[in-house]
Structure 1
Amino acid sequence: MFEINWRPDKTYPMPLHLQIVGYIKEKITLNEWSIGTKLPSQRTLAKLFAVNRSTIIAAMDELAAEGIIQGNTGGGTKIINNTWNLMNKNYNWNGYISSGNHQPNHMIIQQINEAESDPEMIRMGSCEPASELIPQEKIQGILKKLSVSSQPLGYEEPRGSLFLRKEICNYLKTIGIVANPSSILITSGALQGLQLISLGLLHANSIVYLEKPSYLYSLRTFQSFGMQLLGIPFEETGINIKKLSERHKSKQGSILFTIPTFHNPTGTVMPLEKRKELIHFCEKEGLPIIEDDVYREIWFEDSPPPPLKALDNNGLVLYVGGISKNLSPGLRIGWIVGPEQVIARLSDIKMQSDYGSSSLSQNVAAELFASGLYKEHNEILRKKVKVRRDTALTALNEHFNEIATWNIPKGGYFIWLKLNYPISMYQLFVKALNRKVLIHPGDLYEFRSNQHIRISYSNTTLAEISQGIKILSELVLEQLQ
């Protein structure tokens, strides 16, 4: 029952008992250890975590004080709650926190978010462009132009700026998607698109099929609303359609989430024939699709096949795109393309949520599209990112050749590294953090994955890529010895 393959890291600045507290909280949050479960004895826990019994006592005292566990005379210690106190001396907010719908972030994601702001950190987990890849001068030029045009900065239409939606329609034509402005909703980034879909189209018992591994496992977007994530095995060309067919039982309330182009985290590009096969299967089964296509423009040699949406003749695909990954994360501009009645529903929810995305950001994005600067920027970006990819591959060949294998990405920002032998991914993550290298361990994308690391080359300098991979190889070798 209590299979623990994790140990607290004695070199990490956080006290051992607090590391254990964090680990147990995560287990409870993920429903791996449910309410009512009886914990092993303190002596057994000390052996499992490889620490002194006094450390376990301190951890248990902390969890008991926060109302998570309770010890009964003769009955052992049981889990009694799946949340925790904020320990606020002025007011106990626990009742409010426990009643909220949204689940807390994965413990490692919380640590990643804190470490991202460290200027000394080599950010090999981030999937956003480094500041030198963002077209600062082009954006500044557009801002100056807008400042003298007396363009109003009031609320936009519910679906977003008409000017921007028309320009996105023109852009979508270049990748094979024919859409009207009324079938497009502007969102505050692609992630908001997923949140709106979960709020407006799905119910508490919906099943979300997704590739395994998948970026979606690192989010709480769908789980927070009571939906089930059902992983479908992944193969060399993308999602295994045969396995999807075998596991697809529910005709009502289920949806497929897929990243067919530069898949996150594997970098895989689904070939055109398989895209046609997937569309055919979903049409036959009446299974709608969320297509995440935010990395499309970051290709190196050959442009990828057309999106699933370009092959969709029945309004089955909700297409999610944006400019955060290839242009500027700070503008927070994304979009959903879908049937007009769906877009109307989602735009109504968006208006209730934030009354529309920033009009200034929408104006900047529209000008970038209309002026041709968006296309020009992407052509420059691809060349710069390819150099980073090649630098990463050279460093991997030098330092990981005998201990791992990896893909050679044709686009996107990451390499899916597979170690030859399993190790504790959390220990590697913490030790790398201590050496100022930030990575994304594979278990963020596939439950209990202990051989994979997602390495990103988008937010570091060339020197940092080489240095970070060297440090990472040293830490892996330490654990393999």
Structure 2
Amino acid sequence: MKKPKYQLIIDFIKEKIAKGEWAIGSPIPSQRNLAKQFEVNRSTVITALEELMAEGLLEGKAGKETVVTNNTWTLMGAKYSTNWNENVTLGIHKPSVSMVQEINQAESDTNLIQLSKGELSPEMFPLEEMKFIVQKISNQLTSFGYEEPKGNLKLRQAISDYLKVRGIEASPSSILVVSGALQALHLISIGLLKRGSTVLLEMPSYLYSLTVFESAGMELQGLAMDKEGLIIDSIYLTKEKGKNILYTIPTFHNPTGALMQEKRREKLIAYCEREQLPVIEDDVYHDLWIDNPPPKPLKAMDLYGNVLYVGSLSKTLSPGLRIGWIVGSESVINRLADLKMQSDYGSSTLSQLVAAEWLSSNFYDSHLDKVREQLRVRRKVALDALDKYLSPYATWDIPKGGLFIWVKIKPEFKVKRLFEKAFSNNILLNPGSIYAEKTGQFIRISYGYASLDEIKVGIFKLSEIIKIK
């Protein structure tokens, strides 16, 4: 027997509630939309809604939305139930600022010219080599379970060998494999720092677009920069020892592209050792040099276990592998490894085996040579386009590596709402404001992801937007 149409509407709404697609507290579609969807009169919709209200599943008031008030389980139990819609703002981890959320979402839109993405173009992805390595690993696979708390030993040995070439002596026992550099920062924030501590960092900095430290109860204090990065004289310790930590990106800084030279690195390490100021060195861009290899990492000069060193394959090989590492003293690494086990019980075994094969073979260094050559071409295309189209309106420094050009729009051509204007013209870029840049005159342009033609067109369009303001 065919069900009456109002019953079809009731069944539809009940199914949405039962599956959790329409959570308690959420509004249901309007009577007009439901009438259109089921091709019925609004009176039929009203009949269905009245029955659901009588059952206690919905609540509606004249002139207001009809909302879900219960589900089957809550009707069986206590009168008041958890409302997840109310809880989304109550967690201890802060949400990203709205513009960062918007950028994150838009970075998957293939219709946009992606001048924002801090990753390598698919054109540079070593597909054949990756297929070969994945096939080789799959042929060797046996049953695999959880890895050691610090990560796969073969991978940690490969990371140890890889770091030795860069001047860092780190045994596998002092290395923790993590699911990317961001997880490293999260583990450090919850495992090693006291609430109320101060994280000292360059201003602007990538960390300002994250909430990882602030959500753990830390304060952020910006430090002055110049073309070589962090200015040591700007470090001012306001709290007692044990309540300050320095986070720095000395090599191809994000977002400015600054490169700290060796003499300043030596002075910075000496200062931090003297003041007992622990350091997080974020070195994920180290291998993306274009002109000349950068100075050795701060960690290579660290004689007292003062530096926690964070690296990753996300910027150089593939963000999809989700493989990074932390290097530190064994006691610290043991603590962080325990926290990681509590968090996710270890990074993907398959990803770790693939990463180990990349690092322990000649494939990785060969891949980096190709990447650097591509970045040299891409940087030239971006700089030529900037010279041609944006030089009347902006200034910039030439980065010696990394993925970014930090562009300063001249005050007389200051563009309000540049991000929105560019977005409406199908260009995605990163405004300086998300990195706590205060003047509103900077944008970060990436030459790593978009195609060469898109880089030219995107920069040309930006000049047209600025020109008409």
Q: TM-score, normalised by structure 1?
A: 0.79
1:125 match: 116
- Please give the secondary structure, in 2, of the residue aligned with 1:415: strand
CA shift for structure 1 position 96: 2.5
- Which residue matches 1:433? 423
Partner of 2:95: 104
* Pair 425,346 (structure 1): closer, same or farther in 2 beyond 3 Å: farther
Q: Taking structure 1 as reference, are residues 299 and 396 closer, same or farther at Cα in structure 2, changes over 3 Å only?
A: same
Larger Rg: 2
1:105–1:219 contact (8 Å) kept in structure 2: yes
Q: Does 1:218 align with 2:212?
A: no
Q: Indicate yes or no: 2:392 matched with 1:402.
A: yes
CA deviation string 1:204-248 (max 9, x = no partner): 20100000111111101011111100001112221111110x344
Native 8 Å contact 1:422 1:451 kept in 2 = no
Per mean C-alpha deviation after superposition, the further-off stretch among 230-239 and 158-167 is: 230-239
353 and 477 in structure 1: CA distance in 2 versus 1, 3 angstrom threshold: same
Q: Could you say which residue in structure 2 is the equivalent of 1:465?
A: 455
CA distance in 1, matches of 2:68, 2:320: 33
Query: Does the CA contact (< 8 Å) of 2:178 and 2:325 recur in 1?
Result: yes
- In structure 1, distance between residues paired with 2:346 and 2:277: 29
2:330 aligns to what?
340
Could you tell me which amino acid in structure 2 is paired with residue 466 of structure 1? K
> In the TM superposition, what is the alpha-carbon distance from 1:448 to its structure 2 partner?
3.2
Contact 2:156 2:172 in 1 (8 A): yes
Cα distance, 1:386 vs structure 2:
1.0
1:153 maps to amino acid? F
- What SS does structure 2 have at the residue aligned with 1:319? strand
Query: 1:303 is paired with a residue of what secondary structure?
Result: coil
Change (3 A) 1:331 1:451: same
Match of 1:307 in 2: 297
Amino acid in the other structure paired with 2:443: I
- Give the SS at the match of 1:98: coil
Aligned 1:182-261 pairs, distance under 5 A: 182-244=173-235, 246-261=236-251
Who is 1:380 aligned against?
370
Letter in 2 for 1:288: P
How much does 1:152 deviate?
Answer: 3.5
**Any conservation in 1 of the 2:206–2:254 contact (CA below 8 Å)?**
yes
Change (3 A) 1:107 1:305: same
> Is the CA contact (8 Å cut-off) linking 1:262 and 1:295 kept in structure 2?
yes
1:153 partner SS: coil
Number of equivalences: 392
Please identify, of 355-364 and 417-426, the stretch whose mean Cα deviation from structure 2 is larger. 417-426
Read off the aligned partner of 2:426 and give its amino acid letter: K
- Which residue is 2:353 aligned to? 363
Aligned counterparts of 2:208 and 2:296: Cα–Cα separation in 1: 26
Partner of 1:154: 145
Ranges in structure 2 where 5+ consecutive residues have no aligned partner:
1-66, 71-81
Q: Percent identity?
A: 51
Amino acid at match of 1:393: L
SS at the partner of 2:245? Answer: strand
Q: Distance in 1 between matches of 2:193 and 2:85?
A: 28
Q: How many angstroms does 1:297 deviate by?
A: 0.5
Distance 1:156 1:99 in 2: 34
Deviation at 1:326, TM superposition (A): 0.8
Task: Report the Cα distance in structure 1 between the residues aligned to 2:377 and 2:386, rounded to whole angstroms.
Answer: 14
Partner of 1:294: 284
**Structure 1 unpaired stretches of 5+:** 1-86
After superposition, the CA RMSD in angstroms is: 1.5
